[in-house]
């Protein structure tokens, strides 16, 4: 994860700043959306005046990327004001855009403050089984898709990889953190939080209809992604990702999420719309 977030600068110049990056190897060959989100934020942040940090981003996934190929990031310095800077980052493969994002950065300013409270009664991460406990019976190669990831996830009530247990409710919570300590650089932690934000947010939509990821013929694709960073938090410490889906219709579902530090501090808010298609004639249709 850290290696793909370490973008290279380029001697090539247009009217935009150019950076290049690599992709994590993915079993199905498609670039993981959270990766290109995080890389786009890193690219934009490298053009920002010192002291300004990202507070929001809005992006669209345009095409599935190829994880075997490199990615070029072009950053347009749209505006630098007295307190805010705005950047547009587009990610390209073979000259074709696969992702487009606008992000805003701000100086640290004093002001009014409040936050939504973290839900009560959520089991602590150490009281929940790790991912391997939910993968019994899977082929060892299939297990590696989950255990080789750089992120530790603990679902409440349980994952929906193979089946959906409990009530078919449009909500869930997930404890998450990266598996090993990472450098103290706040920019890396902010980008890594974007990386994590795309991992499970779609599941509140699927859980509402009893649809596991393993359903044969299921097709899910992220359409867009929005994120707001409220406060700094370390991604190598446990965070609670509270997720819910207010609506699904027309082959699309909307999911929203809030990310809390373990002490209850609200770190970020997230929203994503996905395309979701299930096989025709399936009893869940």
Q: What residues are labeled active site?
A: 198, 222, 272
- The answer for 273, left when phi > 0, alpha when psi is -120 to 50, beta otherwise, is beta
User: Smallest Cα–Cα separation from 248: which of 185, 202, 184?
Assistant: 202
Distances (CA, A) of 284 to 119, 158, 249: 30, 20, 14
What gap in Å lies between CA 270 and CA 232, rounded to an integer?
15
Dihedral sign computed on CA atoms, order 137, 142, 146, 147: positive
What gap in Å lies between CA 121 and CA 251, rounded to an integer?
33
Burial readout 150-168 (b: 16 or more C-beta within 10 A, e: otherwise): bbbbbbbebbbbbebeeee
């Amino acid at each position: 994860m850290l290696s793909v977030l370490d973008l290279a600068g380029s001697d090539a110049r247009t009217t935009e700043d150019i950076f290049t990056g690599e992709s994590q190897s993915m079993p199905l060959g498609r670039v993981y959306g959270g990766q290109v989100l995080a890389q786009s934020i890193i690219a934009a942040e490298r053009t920002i005046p010192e002291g300004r940090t990202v507070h929001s981003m809005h992006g669209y996934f345009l095409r599935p990327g190829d994880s075997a190929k490199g990615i070029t990031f072009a950053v347009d310095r749209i505006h630098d004001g007295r307190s805010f800077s705005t950047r547009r980052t587009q990610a390209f493969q073979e000259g074709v855009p696969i992702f487009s994002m606008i992000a805003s950065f701000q100086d640290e300013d004093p002001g009014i403050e409040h936050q939504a409270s973290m839900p009560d009664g959520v089991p602590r991460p150490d009281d929940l089984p790790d991912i391997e406990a939910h993968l019994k019976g899977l082929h060892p190669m299939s297990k590696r898709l989950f255990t080789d990831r750089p992120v530790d996830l603990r679902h409440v009530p349980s994952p929906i990889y193979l089946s959906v247990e409990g009530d078919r409710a449009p909500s869930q919570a997930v404890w998450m953190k990266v598996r090993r300590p990472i450098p103290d650089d706040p920019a890396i932690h902010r980008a890594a939080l974007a990386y994590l934000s795309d991992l499970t947010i779609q599941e509140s939509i699927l859980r509402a209809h009893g649809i596991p990821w393993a359903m044969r013929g299921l097709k899910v694709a992220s359409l867009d992604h929005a994120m707001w960073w409220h406060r700094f938090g370390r991604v190598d410490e446990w965070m609670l990702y509270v997720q819910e889906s207010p609506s699904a219709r027309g082959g699309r579902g909307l999911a929203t999420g809030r990310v809390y530090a373990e002490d209850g501090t609200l770190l970020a808010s997230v929203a994503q719309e996905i395309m979701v298609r299930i096989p025709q004639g399936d009893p869940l249709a």
